[in-house]
Amino acid sequence: MLTAETRGSETLGALLAETRRTLAGAGIDQPGLDARLLVEHFTGTTRTEGLAAPERTVDPRAAAALRAAVAERVAGKPVHRILGYREFYGLRLRLSPDTLEPRPDTETLVDMVLPCAREMLKKTGSCRILDLGTGTGAIALALLSELPGARAIGVDISYGALEIARQNAEINGCSARFEVRKSDWFTHVEGDFNLIVANPPYIATETYLDLPREVRDFDPRGSLDGGADGLDAYRAIAANAAAYLAEEGLIAVEIGYDQMQAVRAVFEAHAFRTALQARDLAGRDRAVGFVRRGSAPV
């Protein structure tokens, strides 16, 4: 543990080593990575600086802030919650207690729909996107960053989440093409969209209660708990999506690794046809896209 004896003329290398040992001793997964992230953030240094100048002296105030952060991490707070941001699809996104922490699995959804969205832009010159349950704005902003001609609306039931999404759009240069709106799914949405995307809550209630504390205690329950079987949000979305989907439009959702057949059945019961499927880097089913039954192949 970082103690008074280590204070005074502390160096970058010593703080990094001590932080790594403290996190490892507390049983934290990936203690080396978390230690590096915390040290770099609170000392204002880069990985290159840490490797090239480990003898660099650290300001005592920075060391004190680092110690406080390490204590939070040992107590179970996720490292990115401590930092206040997370990288997603090359963007830096602010987090708050109102938002789900975006994770690499969700990039699978972005990768899956991007070719279709680019084709829409090529054919029509525009692509209107609706991001349901936008949270940090991760999916919509990732798409806008790759699609200069596109525009997006992000809806959420949380005012706090919408404010964070608005800030993230501004930080990442997308605010002119991104609008936030308070809405329970489609309740306050008008018009039609070429692309509807969502990472809805899909964890069954019983499973939610067994989640690791780093998820259960820090991500909003409403962003995770999908009801008794984890499919409540998909039913609500599928029942109403057709009225908001443009001709030859695509709706795509993230899913749990074992939900592909169940989610397909929900949408296919509402006259949609499965058009796209994608697996994450671990080879697990992670995203699926639908078009109206009878639409041209994607």
For the chain, domains (ranges, CATH) are: 4-83 (1.10.8.10), 99-292 (3.40.50.150)
HSE of 234, CA atoms in CB hemisphere, 13 A: 31
Q: Which residues pair with 287 in a beta bridge?
A: 254, 278
Query: Which among 220, 279, 291, 283 is positioned nearest to 255, based on CA atoms?
Result: 279
Helix (H, G, I), strand (E, B) or coil at 129: strand
> What confidence score (pLDDT) does residue 293 get?
87
For residue 220, count other CB atoms closer than 10 A to its CB. Answer: 18
- SS3 category, 92: strand
The torsion of the CA quartet 209, 215, 216, 219, rounded to 10 degrees, works out to: -130
- Distance, in Å, from the CA atom of 288 to the CA atom of 235, rounded to the nearest integer, reads 15
Per-residue model confidence (pLDDT) at position 294: 76
Locus of tokens 């997006």: 152
243: helix, strand or coil:
helix
- Report the candidate in 118, 132, 23, 115 with the shortest Cα–Cα distance to residue 78: 23
What are phi and psi for residue 291, nearest 5 degrees?
-125, 165
Longest dimension (CA), the chain: 72
pLDDT given at position 8: 53
Q: Using CA atoms in the order 111, 114, 116, 118, what is the torsion angle rounded to 10 degrees?
A: -160
pLDDT of residue 2: 43
Cα radius of gyration (the chain): 21
pLDDT tens track, the chain, 298 positions:
444 344 457 999 999 999 999 999 999 999 999 999 999 999 999 988 888 888 999 999 999 999 999 999 999 999 999 999 999 999 999 999 999 999 999 999 999 999 999 999 999 899 999 999 999 999 999 999 999 999 999 999 999 999 999 999 999 999 999 999 999 999 999 999 999 999 999 999 999 989 998 999 999 999 999 999 999 999 999 999 999 999 999 999 999 999 999 999 999 999 999 999 999 999 999 999 999 987 766 6
Q: What is the phi-psi region of residue 227: left when phi exceeds 0, alpha when psi lies from -120 to 50, beta otherwise?
A: left
Residue 53 confidence (pLDDT): 87
- The H or E element that residue 170 is part of is helix 159-171
Neighbouring residues of 223: CB distance < 8 A, sequence distance ≥ 6:
99, 100, 133, 135, 201
List phi, psi (to 5°) of 13.
Answer: -65, -40
Q: Which pLDDT does position 296 carry in this prediction? A: 66
Element (H, E) at 193: strand 193-198
- The CA distance from 50 to 69, in Å, is 19
Residue whose C-alpha is closest to residue 230's, from 258, 272, 197? 258
The vertex-177 CA angle with 98 and 145, nearest 5°, equals 80
